[in-house]
Amino acid sequence: MAAPKLELFESEWTILRIVWERQPCAAPTVQEALAAEKGWAYTTVKTLMDRMVRKGLLRTEKIRNLYLYRAAVSQAQAQRSEIFRTVQRAFNGTLTPMMQFLLENEELSEQEYEHLARLIRERRRKNTGKKK
């Protein structure tokens, strides 16, 4: 199970969620969106965002003297990487024990069970079609 090497800190997830929703956006926009939730000062947000640019998580575009930020990774890429890291650490890289753990330790509604079963059936059909 190969996964992209993308390790995000909680602060980076927080900023990326705002950027994904509002991109392109300036650092003050992100800071305002997080002010009530996190209480982060503008300098904190700007420093984090500049580090995220160096790390390859964000891209910048300069318009006159304003920097606009865009995500350099998609939400799906970040989620995939996070899941694969968790599966690797907690389940030795194997998906089946993880799914078993979740099914045994989470209360799912009948609707959620049906949805999962449907997803598995659809995936099996796609895989069967590829083998022909």
Domain spanning 1-93 has what CATH number? Answer: 1.10.10.10
| R_g of the chain computed on alpha carbons | 19
Q: How many Cβ atoms from other residues are within 10 Å of residue 36's Cβ?
A: 7
The Cβ-side half-sphere exposure at 57, using a 13 Å CA radius, reads 23
pLDDT of 10 reads: 94
pLDDT in tens, 60-110: 999 999 999 999 999 999 999 999 988 999 999 898 888 888 888 888 899
Residues 34/112, Cβ–Cβ less than 8 Å = no
Mean pLDDT computed over 9-28:
96
CB-based contacts of 29-36 (< 8 A; 24+ apart in sequence): 30/69
**Does pTM top 0.95 for this prediction?**
no
Mean pLDDT computed over 40-53:
96
- Note the Cα 99 to chain centre separation in Å: 19
pLDDT of 99 reads: 87
Q: Does residue 24 come out as left (phi exceeding 0), alpha (psi in the -120 to 50 range) or beta? A: beta
pLDDT at 118 over 60: yes
Give the residue extent of every domain in the chain: 1-93, 94-132
pLDDT of 131 reads: 64
